[in-house]
Amino acid sequence: MTSRDSTSSWLRVFLLGLALSVLAIGGCSSSGDDAKSSDPYYDEFGVTPFDTEGPMGKADSAGVPGPSTDFDNGSTAVWTVKNQWEDRNTAAAKEAGMAWPANSGLNWDEKYAAWIDAMKKVPGVSYGDTFEMMTPWGKTLPSPKLECAETAMFLRLTFAAWYNLPFYMTTTDEHGTRVYFGHMGAITANGRYKNMPLYKSYYKDYSGMAPSEYEANWPKDDKLRAKGLYGGGDEMDYLFPGAKAGAYFDEVHLNKRVGHFALHLLSYFGSINVANSRNTYNLKPEAMREGDVLVERWQKKGIGHTLVVKSVTPIDGGRLDAQLVSGSMPRRQPKWESAIASKQSFTNEQFGGQGTNWDGDEYVKLGGGLKRWRVAKNWQGRWTNSWMNGDEANWINDTDWDTLKMRPSQFQTLLGEVSPEQLRDALLGIIEDARHHLSEYPASCSARTKREDAWRELYALLSQKFNMSKAEADAQYRKLDDYVFAELEYEKSKTCCWNSSTNAMYQMVIDYNQGLMQNQCIAPVVFKNTNGGYQVFADYAASIGKAAEWKAWSEDEPCSQRDVTDDTEKPHDWVEWCSLPQNQGTGGTGGTGGTGGTGGTGGTGGTGGTGTGGTGTGGTSSTASCVGYCGSSQPVPGSSPSCYCDDYCTTAGDCCGDKATACP
């Protein structure tokens, strides 16, 4: 692949990413036990991110009392509770809101769903689509950069704080102490938790300002605006230069206590806590609505993935069109996925379904699947996380394994179907999105797996509906990137714990491989840990004067496989790179055994810029046709130099000769 092809391919991926909403890539924080005592958050408050806790009791431990309501007005409090989730007929409940009219008859949980649904789709700052953040203050903002569980928690706590609703999340710390983070602050059953802030005493609340006042001069908390989330990666220069999560929270909350609290909740809690049935409960598929969360758990400890249900629309045949949004790690704007891509998550067995992981743990027992947020209710002077009265028939017991594990297959039937052509294009979009993610974070194992999962579905679809073999599929759709960033065994590969690799590193890995193929095709060198490191790529970076841009491996998440000498590749279904027709190089001028001459139609040699016959002159793009390849972001097989039949080729100047007539 030439540098011209490399640039063109990247732009194609980028443009396709803007056009398609596809499957989420990556995981998100556990938060986990990887925090060190030198972390700023530990130093300030003596608190490290929380991990999992023991199993729930009978009926999900529903009705287990939480913190006393006595703390609501104490110095730890973040906001005042004025409304209850079940309210429909109070004065506040009858008022018009962001996404509902006056006298709507909706309770606050239904209004939360209406708000999630109403936030419109907009292009993301980087790539893909996201949502525009809607606030009660008449202002809208681009969505924030967050991890996946952070997105779910941020939306729920923000709505609760805006409308003075009770809210808390709970877990146990490393000492087994039960802690509560919510409207009452960060507390235990006995009061303030460790050195956590006295929010009511420390920070200002401007909620009493009139609209005319805050519209003219939005109040700001300079200390809050200077802060970011634990772990970094939340830079939001699209808000203003240097902005981080604290600045974003300052822009959406008049009550600055909530902004400070959000930094702490999102830094200490993660996907494993969202999955915990003290905070959410398992939901029947047919009861799904906007604001629910879909949790992926493939391991007992460590990262998982959390997606928010953004829209649910009834379609013909009693089916549903459901679309998801999710942040990721490293942090990003929540990515809006198409219904087709979303279905890949709903039907994935790692989301609480059947099967086991590498340790023999059943997925259904790891806490994944469709969830709904619990609502805090005042029971005899104690806040207790429960469910809405109308949802009592919609929950599934935490230990009803037989019912829980069937949900992915139920979603297969419940969610809408599409034509083979639409499914093919969506799968290709998922593959391109994974490639794009890898171009930004080349160490990502989740992206490699998402790409190959989509490939496995694509192989089956192309065989069944398009009479295309695996070899033909690879010849048309595979790229060098797939082979260089081959799928790895997560639990046996230290690369999978490395979340801070960069686009500059990606480019060097690709350039190194392309350099090896200048005169003949050789098997790509996979970007993985070999002999204890990544020395071949580090040496290449140094040889081109970019040693400083090659980052050393770091344990960016809990990594039991940190000491492996060599990463382990998963078995591959593909045709080997040098066996693809376009990489054969059987002809060319001055070739060492090429069958074609320097002219005429010895064109099979012209496809082989990577064969032993050099780049070859036996074939030209003038004989390559767009028939059957219109819209494909891959070069037409047999074209040399490579020519294309997609919309971008006009800009790039590399269309095949008959593109205009073959693809009107």
Residue indicated by tokens 């009392």: 65
Angle between helices 245-252 and 256-268 (to 10 degrees): 140
d(CA 260, CA 254): 12
In the predicted model, residues of the chain with pLDDT beneath 50 are 1-26, 30-39, 55-59, 586-622
Q: How far is CA 209 from CA 215, 217, 246, in A?
A: 10, 10, 21
Tokens representing 204 are 């200002």
Q: The tokens 């059943």 sit on which residue?
A: 362
| CB proximity list for 661: less than 8 A, separation 6 or greater | none
| DSSP tag of 553 | P
For helices 420-440 and 503-516, give the axis angle rounded to 10 degrees. 100
Closest CA to 585 of 516, 522, 632: 522
Reduced to 3 states, what is the DSSP secondary structure of residue 70?
helix
Strands (E), 177-332: 178-182, 185-188, 191-192, 280-283, 293-296, 305-315, 319-326
What's residue 64's pLDDT?
Answer: 79
pLDDT at 627: 75
Amino acid symbol at 615: T
pLDDT reported for residue 624 = 75
Listed in sequence order, the residues at least 6 apart from 136 whose beta carbon sits closer than 8 Å to its beta carbon are: 97, 98, 162, 163
Rounded alpha-carbon distances, angstroms, from residue 207 to 92, 93, 258, 572? 15, 18, 11, 57
DSSP character at residue 183: T
The contacts found for 92-100 with CB under 8 angstroms, 24 or more apart, are: 92/163, 97/136, 98/134, 98/135, 98/136, 99/134
What does the alpha-carbon distance between residue 499 and residue 555 come to, in Å, rounded to a whole number?
8
Tell me the CA distances in angstroms from 527 to 375, 499, 518, 533, 537, one per residue in order.
Answer: 46, 14, 19, 10, 8
Spatial distance between the Cα atoms of 63 and 379, rounded to a whole number of angstroms: 9
Q: How far apart are the first and last CA of the chain?
A: 28
Which pLDDT belongs to residue 491?
Answer: 86
Residue 272 C-alpha from the chain's centroid: 15
User: How many whole angstroms separate alpha carbon 11 and alpha carbon 18?
Assistant: 11
3-state secondary structure of 555: coil
d(CA 24, CA 107): 31
Helix (H) or strand (E) holding 411: helix 407-414
Separation CA 378–CA 189 (nearest Å): 15
Q: What confidence tens digit (pLDDT) does each residue in 114-128 have?
A: 999 999 999 999 888
Strand 129-134 relative to strand 121-123, pairing: antiparallel
Indicate the domain borders of the chain. 71-409, 418-579
Of 638, 588, 636, the residue nearest 611 (C-alpha): 588
Burial of 138 (0-12, 13-18, 19+ CB in 10 A): exposed
Q: Cβ(443)–Cβ(509) under 8 Å?
A: no
Give me the torsion for CA of 444, 445, 447, 453, rounded to 10°: 170
DSSP 620-640: -GGG---TTTTT-SSPPTT-S
Note whether 240 and 248 are within 8 A (CB): no
Tokens 């490579």 belong to residue: 642
Residue whose tokens read 């034509």 = 419
Residue whose token pair is 């279904």: 573
pLDDT at 16: 31
